[in-house]
Structure 1
Amino acid sequence: MIENFGDLEVQSEWRAFQGLPYQYCPRVDIAVGPFNVAPSPNRTEEYNQIVRRDNISEFLREIYNLHIENIGDEWLNEVRIPEFERIIEKNQNARCLIAIEIENSSTKKHIMGSMVNAASLGRIGIGIAYNESVLRTFRRMLNYMGFLKRVEKNTYDTTNFLIVTKDQFEDIVTKNLDEE
């Protein structure tokens, strides 16, 4: 994945707002730049161009397709999956291009926080479920957000948060590295 992103910087344990003692400083497991940490100017146009690069667009589309597969078509599903184009344009004030959270075993509250942080900080947020239990929790959380929206309760928009399993993510990364 790193090599396939060419000139884009990749950082682990990335903090969005360092040096601001008065503000919570969310951290994501992996972040792909460019990073937008200054108050201005916004990097929206730069992100718009990057997500349309062939290699980035193909990578994100593969993640998107697996996300749809992982959400499933359960009859109680509250998740409404928008078109790919809407997802890659959703977070116009992102702090990084891609924010990735890797979850193995955490509380539901922790996983909810990871989802909110990744969706808020990244143009695209990706949740990697290390096991079936975490995948179910991700699904339930997205379903809950969809329910809250449908019944007109306060909610957080996680439209740009995509869920894949550890194995699916490894397969995509390996495939993309092999194509270089």
Structure 2
Amino acid sequence: MGAKEVQAAIKNALGAVFPRDLVKSEWSVRSDATDDVFGRTLYAPRLDIAVGPFNVTRERKDADLESIDRYGQHPLLLHLRNEVTRQNHGGFYYNPNPRCLLAIELEYSTSSKHILGGITNASLLGSIGVMIGPAAYINKIQRICAYAAKLREIEKAHDDMFANIVCFPDTQFLELLNAAHR
């Protein structure tokens, strides 16, 4: 499957686990935002897939964060958090002010710089960031994440840098999602 087919399959599978209105493809951080954090003069990333609840208003920030925390107790989220901790050699960074519950980036045939940009967006915007790639590229994605983990380990980077990111081959992530809604 190509990137667009995998994106559609993941969105569909997530829609069987979470309310469909909380699962968005090509989600812009400006979508439904009233907080104007990402004004028109700033770069505003677009996630391949985002799962809400979404935290896009100043006036509802506390309620939005509480909703994200409640969904964080979902069995799938607990599994993802455990996997983040395993892949990060025991570390997990709790993003205290995410834009969404899950920030998912698909990386197909991209450069290391594009992968690093995807990791950055997923980490900063999601309570948990998920990096997904095909078998041909997952090793490259995992090596870049391992590089960040090593920098944290030797204290050349902050403890929170990319420590909420988990990586999966596309087929493995789809299997996980399909098992989660049975």
Bucket of the pairwise TM-score, normalised by the shorter protein: 0.7 to 0.9
Q: What fraction of aligned residue pairs are identical, expressed as a percent?
A: 31
Q: Distance in 2 between matches of 1:63 and 1:159?
A: 12
Pairing partner for 1:80 from 86, 89, 92: 89
What is the aligned partner in structure 2 of residue 59 from structure 1? 76
1:27 correspondence with 2:46: yes
Task: Structure 2 unaligned segments of length 5 or more: list them.
Answer: 1-13, 32-37
Measure, in 1, the Cα distance between the counterparts of 2:21 and 2:126.
14
Write the deviation string for residues 13-68 of structure 1: whole angstroms up to 9, x where unpaired.
0010357212110111000112112234322222111111xxx2x21244455567
- Alignment TM-score, normalising by the size of structure 1: 0.77
Distance 1:173 1:151, change over 3 A: closer
1:118 maps to a residue whose letter is: A
Stretches of structure 1 that go unaligned for 5 or more consecutive residues are 72-78
Residue 129 of structure 1 deviates from its aligned partner by 1.7
> Which residue, out of 7, 10, 13, partners 2:26?
13
Matched positions, count: 160
Residue of structure 1 in register with 2:164 after alignment: 160
Contact 1:101 1:127 in 2 (8 A): yes
- Across the aligned residues of Structure 1 and Structure 2, the Cα RMSD in angstroms comes to 2.4
Call closer, same or farther: CA 1:173–1:33 in 2, change over 3 Å.
same
Q: TM-score, normalised by structure 2?
A: 0.76
* Runs of 4+, deviation exceeding 6 Å: none
* Counterpart AA for 1:142: C
